[in-house]
Structure 1
Amino acid sequence: MKLRTLVMALAVALPCAAMSAELVRWTDDSGRVSYGVMSDVPQRYLNRVVPADAPLPPGTTACEARWHRYAASVACFDQYRLVGGGLKPEAFQRCTEVPQPDCN
């Protein structure tokens, strides 16, 4: 079981390592996990911030891990969105495109 957890954590962490260094995740009071940059984190959750590429908690399912990778990818690309739509070219150098998972 420990090996499976380690493999899942690495599968999530390695692709995220290529993402922006300032990308973080935090958990709100209802247990919802959010991704963004430090300036997105509400003041009351600052003590819950971890790097986005930090290992996920033990017991995270493969489907949940895919959703975490997807959410981190979306948050990374959000940093490079232009006002009129589109993305800055460097987004594709700093973020990893992850397709939306097809599991629940």
Structure 2
Amino acid sequence: MPFAANRGPLGLGSPTHTRGIAMLPLLRTTALGIICLLATAAVAATVYRWVDEQGKVHYSDLVPERYRNTAKPVDAPPAEPTPEQQRAALERAQSEKAKALAPSVGRSGPTESAQPASAASAPSRKRPAQVPNDQTDCDTWQRLYMESIECFGPYRTVRGGVKPEAFEVCNVVREPPPTRCRMHIP
């Protein structure tokens, strides 16, 4: 009976072995609790600031022995911006939006007509505003194609897909056919 040999004082069927199995969930829970406490303590560590011999400023929670006398604790900034900071950020965003909607002058002149200030909150037209057809010359088609690529750029995902909201802002311009015009790479 080879199986009976395992039933010794510490074998598989012994009372000590079955109590050990029953204790595993308690041990796992205790270990998880200790890990969580250590992680919390690491996050709440004090950050110190010190300057080395070359004048370089360092920030860390671990200070080298020779800089411990000169290192000073740094107060962490508040997690939430103050109402004044929120108001300033909102005003800055509105002014940047107004600048973006203002007519921009490029090589070929203004690209959009001037819009009144009340239209600043209205959605802008799709870019590029023109879509090429068979009568479009090669340089214009290439410019529109590049504008379309630049417009879709911020909406690309990590895997190369395009977010659906991109099609509300950008027009799809296909690449100029190679039989018709040769692509100029800047």
Whether these two folds match at TM > 0.5 is: no
* Larger Rg computed on CA atoms: 2
Instruction: Judging by fraction of residues, say which structure has more strand.
Output: 1
TM category (shorter chain) comes to 0.3 to 0.5
Which of 1 and 2 has higher RCO (CA within 8 Å, sep 6+)? 1
Task: Calculate the TM-score normalised by the size of structure 1.
Answer: 0.42
